[in-house]
Each structure stands twice: as structure tokens, then as C-alpha cells.
């Protein structure tokens, strides 16, 4: 657990560092003096002054900050009851509004550049993904009594979803992505049913816990064992065994076994196949505080994306960044459609945990998979940080850009009182949002 947290902190810190680096470089470019640049927050544990800039390493290893000369001059002017800011040479408010806009925009823009480069590196190196078939199982077949969009559209267990809106979906992750990002939208599916091709229209429901689209399907996993530990190993099962029947019921896919386990049987009589030979055994489940433990995992499919050339990787990186940016912007509207915000909105604790968890799972498979998984997640977080910071809210970069645009249009400096009031509202709002997000994170981690 500890090293997951360390990995998460390091990853999140990189994303915030890139953001602050954008502000730093833009400030230097337009002639605004930078007084300090810190990696991490809190009391500096290391610091060195180089050419008038104090470079620091903070005690709390999360992100960083760029302290520009005179960035609080509006507060000083307001406290002195002045009608305007009296900027000093080289200070933040000594620069014109458009130069301040450039500095404010540079942080989010660097996050986009970082994401595009990370995606390009991933595609340039090639990567491997553990996935499943594009064959589906109706949720209503596993939990009778409920109906979902898949039932209304006429999908059946065993169908293969070959394409969505003209985009091929050869694997489960392709199907899941297209459904997740399109709640409430009509989708055109090309389905294979026993060799017959069908055109089916479907509208995913909005999952109010996650904000993603859902149609009420699981994805097919053949009951072929991968890793065998604990109770399963004690029962004599081995990697490569295929489970045929459990307690007299056929097991065509793993969800059929899940349905049997809902009754929490004291023992399981298994019929299995090993190297063409059939066998029988009895598995005694172990019950722990976290639930039933069988010691079984199942084989997934491995999809390998080959390395791309430098131009191809850069194109793919920019394309993936653009696509993710559009999805992130569309997702903001879902916050006002009754979704469970404690589930859908992630704060720093949850993001840190998820980054570490994703990296740990990847490294458990291979070093390459670990770095690829962590890098992909950080690219997504970097884009989310860009979108969040460009919102026209006080304290955020987007709010600052709005202020400076107003100043540019009026061709007159803003009153220190207006800036102070705007910033105060922002601090209260962001602090409240942070408390809400951390509360949701704690609930999430307790459930985990």
C-alpha cells in the first residue's frame, strides 16, 4: 500500500509540476520576474538562489508553485484604500493584460502538450493491453427482473459488437469506451449473431454513480484459469484448466459462475477439462472480511499495439489528446444531470490512490506495462487539470483570464477591491469543493 501511495504522489506531482512550469516559462518570456519556483509545497527542505530566482524543494511532495513578483499587489492596494494598483517594474501587474493572459493560459496549455507527448511516447514504443472479447452477456440474464437498453434494442447474450457509429470495436475496451462517452446518445451498432450481421440502434443510459453511459451488458470471459492460489490450488486446479460445470450447472462464461456464487454455497463441485482430459474436484471457498475467496483468475486476451514511426506517434498523441479533451468538456455537463458527485468527482486522495494502484497493477505484470499504464493515466489527469483550470471561476487560471480580458476591453485597470472580492469568492468556492472532494475520496477508499 505504501509504495502505491508513493507512486501516486510522484505521478500527480509530475502533472502539477508541468502546469507550474508553463506559468514559469511564460512569465520569463514576457518579462515578469519570478521570485521562487518550488517542486512540492510547504517549508523548503532544499533551496538555492540562481540568478535571482529561488529554486525550492518543498516538504510536501505534491505538485509545486511559481511565485511571481508583485502577484499580490492588488491586495496591498486594497488594504491601503487605493483606487488602482501601483505596480513595480518587472511585477505581475506591471505587465499588460494580454501578457498576463498568456502567463495564465500557459499552465493549462503545458498540460495539453505534456499529455500529447506522453501519448506519443506510448504509441511510439508500442504497448500491450489485457482485454476481453467483444462478445456480450446480457445483465438481465444474470439478474432477471431488470431491463436495460440492451434488452430494448434486441441484443442477446453471445452477440458480438463489431462496430459502433462506423468505428470498429474488435475488443471489449473499444466497445466500453464508445458506450461510456455517449450517455443519452443514439448509437448505431453492427452486431454479429451466429454469422449473421445485424444493424441495431441503442441509446445508453446515464450511470449516475460514474457519469458514464451503460447499456446493461457484461463482456464474455471464457472460464479458463490463469493464476490459481489458495482454495483453488488446494482443490488441485491448475493454470489452463477450463471449468465446464459447477454444482451441476453449465459454465459457458465466468458470469455464470458469478451467478452461482451469489448464493454463497459452502462448497463447489467442479467439472473441468485439462489437456483434453476431464476431471472433477471439490472447492471449499474461504470467507474473509472482504467476502468470498476462491483463488481463481481467468485468462484474458492480449492485444499488442505495434510501435509507430515518429510522425505517426506524434499524430496519434495529438489525436488522443484532442479526443480526450472533447470528452472531458462534454463530461462537465453531466455534473448537472443528477449524478452522484461523491462517486463521479475525484479529489487528490482518490487520484493519488488510483495512480498508484494502476501503476502497481501494471508493474506486477511487467515493467513496460507498468510505465505504460501510469503514463496513460497521468496524460488523462493532465488533460483534466487543463480543463479544470480553464473554467472561468475565481482563483483558477480561467477566472484570471476573464478578469484580464475585461481589463483589456475596458482599457482601464481593474479596481483592487473588485480583484480582491473576486479572489475571495474563489478561495471560498475552491476550499468548499476541496472539502467535498476529499469527503468523497474518503468514502471511496472506505468502500475499497
Residues carrying an active site annotation:
20
Q: Which residues of 407-445 are buried (b: 16+ CB within 10 A; e: fewer)?
A: beeeeebbbbeebbebbeebeeeeeeeeeebeebbeebe
Q: What CA–CA distance (Å, rounded) separates 194 from 68?
A: 66
3-class DSSP state for residue 55?
A: strand
C-alpha span between 135 and 152 (Å, rounded): 18
Distance CA 115, CA 14 (A): 12
Burial of 319 (0-12, 13-18, 19+ CB in 10 A): middle
Q: Cβ(190)–Cβ(163) under 8 Å? A: yes
What cell does 68 get? 511571481
Distance spanning both ends of the chain, measured CA to CA: 12
CA distances for 233 relative to 207, 264, 267, 295, angstroms: 38, 19, 15, 7
Amino acid at each position: 500500500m505504501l509504495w502505491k501511495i508513493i507512486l501516486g504522489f510522484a505521478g500527480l506531482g509530475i502533472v502539477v509540476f508541468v502546469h507550474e512550469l508553463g506559468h514559469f516559462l511564460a512569465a520569463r518570456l514576457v518579462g515578469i520576474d519570478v521570485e521562487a519556483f518550488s517542486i512540492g509545497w510547504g517549508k523548503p527542505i532544499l533551496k538555492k538562489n540562481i540568478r535571482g530566482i529561488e529554486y525550492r524543494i518543498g516538504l510536501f511532495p505534491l505538485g509545486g508553485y511559481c511565485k511571481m513578483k508583485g502577484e499580490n499587489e492588488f491586495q496591498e492596494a486594497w488594504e491601503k484604500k487605493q483606487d488602482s494598483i501601483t505596480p513595480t517594474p518587472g511585477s505581475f501587474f506591471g505587465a499588460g493584460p494580454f501578457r498576463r493572459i498568456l502567463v495564465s493560459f500557459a499552465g493549462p496549455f503545458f498540460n495539453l502538450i505534456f499529455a500529447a507527448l506522453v501519448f506519443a511516447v506510448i504509441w511510439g514504443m508500442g504497448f500491450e493491453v489485457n482485454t476481453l472479447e467483444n462478445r456480450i452477456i446480457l445483465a438481465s440474464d444474470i439478474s432477471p427482473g431488470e431491463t436495460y437498453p440492451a434488452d430494448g434494442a434486441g441484443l442477446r447474450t453471445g452477440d458480438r459488437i463489431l462496430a459502433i457509429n462506423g468505428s470498429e470495436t474488435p475488443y471489449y475496451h473499444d466497445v466500453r469506451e464508445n458506450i461510456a462517452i455517449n450517455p443519452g446518445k443514439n448509437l448505431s451498432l453492427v452486431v454479429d449473431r451466429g454469422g449473421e450481421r445485424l444493424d441495431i440502434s441503442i441509446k445508453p443510459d446515464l450511470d449516475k454513480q460514474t457519469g458514464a453511459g451503460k447499456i446493461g451488458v457484461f463482456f464474455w470471459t471464457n472460464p479458463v484459469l490463469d493464476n490459481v492460489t489458495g482454495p483453488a490450488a488446494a482443490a488441485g486446479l491448475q493454470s489452463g484448466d477450463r471449468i465446464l460445470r459447477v454444482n451441476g450447472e453449465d459454465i459457458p462464461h465466468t458470469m455464470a459462475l458469478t451467478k452461482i456464487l451469489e448464493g454463497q454455497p459452502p462448497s463447489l463441485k467442479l467439472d473441468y477439462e485439462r489437456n483434453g482430459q476431464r476431471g472433477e474436484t471439490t472447492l471449499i471457498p474461504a470467507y474473509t472480511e472482504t467476502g468470498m475467496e476462491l483463488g481463481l483468475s481467468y485468462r484474458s486476451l492480449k492485444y499488442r499495439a505495434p510501435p509507430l514511426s515518429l510522425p505517426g506517434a506524434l499524430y496519434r498523441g495529438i489525436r488522443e489528446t484532442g479526443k480526450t479533451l472533447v470528452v472531458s468538456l462534454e463530461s462537465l455537463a453531466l455534473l448537472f444531470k443528477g449524478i452522484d458527485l461523491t462517486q463521479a468527482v475525484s479529489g487528490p486522495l482518490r487520484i493519488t490512490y488510483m495512480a498508484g494502484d494502476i501503476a502497481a497493477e501494471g508493474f506486477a505484470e511487467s515493467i513496460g506495462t507498468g510505465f505504460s499504464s501510469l503514463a496513460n493515466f497521468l496524460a488523462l489527469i493532465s488533460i483534466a487539470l487543463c480543463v479544470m483550470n480553464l473554467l472561468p471561476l475565481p482563483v483558477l487560471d480561467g477566472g484570471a483570464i476573464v478578469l484580464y480580458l475585461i481589463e483589456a476591453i475596458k482599457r482601464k485597470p481593474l479596481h483592487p477591491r473588485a480583484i480582491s472580492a473576486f479572489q475571495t469568492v474563489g478561495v471560498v468556492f475552491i476550499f468548499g469543493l476541496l472539502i467535498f472532494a476529499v469527503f468523497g475520496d474518503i468514502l471511496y477508499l472506505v468502500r475499497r
